[in-house]
Amino acid sequence: MNRALGVLTCGAFLSVVLGVLGSGEPVLSLVLGAVFTALATLGFGWVLDRHRPAWSAAYVAVQLPLAFVIFTINAGVGATLFLVVLVSQCVVLRLPLPAIALVIAVVPLVHLGMSLGEGLREGLGTLVSVFFAAVVTELLLREQRSRGELAEAHEKLRDYATQAERLATAQERNRVARDIHDGLGHSLTVVQMQVKAARAVLPTDPGKADEVLAKAQEQAENALAEVRRSVKALREPRTTPPLPEALEALAAETSAAGVPAELTVSGTERELPDEQREALYRAAQEGLTNVRKHAAAGRADVVLDFAESTVRVEVRDNGAGTEGAASPGFGLLGLRERAEHLGGSLDFTSAPGRGSALSMEVPG
């Protein structure tokens, strides 16, 4: 905008120069035109950078009489353009609206020396010209500000998109880590326990050892299928049995590994969304895995409670328990993240000689 006004000012001065050279008009208009042009280009930029109302008012107070004098000496196109430029600069300087209106109202007074009819005609034409210049300048400034705000908004959107991408990446990493721990980690733990059991009975009961090893092989094959499925499509929907049926299978698996486990279901059974079902299943799976690995328990109980607005799964054992709060491993950390994501909660309690209990409750 400032460059456009500078070009217009230089064009007005060129018109004054041509008027002086072509028709012998007073050279004083050329000198004053040069002063006005210098102030309107170099001086205006300096005042605009200061952002001070006093400097803006002083600039207009100098340029307006100067433009009047130039018009009085040489009432040509160049002098008129000087007035148009000055009004536009008043808008750019963000002078108060009453001040801009005052300048616009004063500009037609340059025609006071003319006859009444001619003065009114010329004055009205000049008034319309400078008013139009002020309106156009304001519209251009608003459009320029809108472009700047739009560019700033686009930049913020790019930043938000980058942050969202990073957050999504972190969430996906955490999800994959949970799936690896809860799925593959559980299966490998079961295989390890079954192999240990087979080795223990191999010298005395080869048939039993072979049976246990067959179950270990089946579990390893299931784990391999799970890995292949995850590699193929991390988010691929899969058909899953109802939660009570899935927990019954977990309890049977634990019993087969040497720790008797029993499932108790209370409340009215209902279908659950996939995320809730997966979280509750993983909580039971983690609890039973910990029972086999750490609890030294003689039995485990799995409770599935369908309350009115929530569903809770709990795994209790009669094992040795621990003193104080257990250090949160990847399993409990992943379960807590799942529960918080669903608006639920996870609790783990343990006491020496009284066993441990892992409980997850989620809306559903």
Beta-strand relationship, 300-306 and 355-363: unpaired
Spatial strand order in the sheet of 300-306: 261-267, 300-306, 310-317, 355-363, 345-351
Cα–Cα dist 336/194, whole Å: 29
pLDDT tens, per residue, the chain with 364 residues: 778 888 888 888 888 888 777 666 678 888 898 999 999 888 888 888 888 889 999 999 999 999 899 888 877 888 888 999 999 989 998 899 999 999 999 988 888 878 888 878 888 988 898 999 899 989 988 998 898 898 888 888 888 877 877 877 777 677 666 666 666 666 777 777 778 888 888 888 888 888 878 877 877 877 776 666 666 544 555 556 899 999 999 899 888 878 899 999 999 999 999 889 999 999 999 888 888 877 688 899 999 999 989 999 999 998 888 765 444 566 788 888 889 989 999 999 988 888 899 999 999 8
Q: What is the pTM of this model?
A: 0.45
Report pLDDT for 233: 47
Work out the angle at residue 295's Cα, subtended by the Cα atoms of residues 290 and 299, and round it to the nearest 5 degrees.
Answer: 95
* Strand 300-306 relative to strand 261-267, pairing: parallel
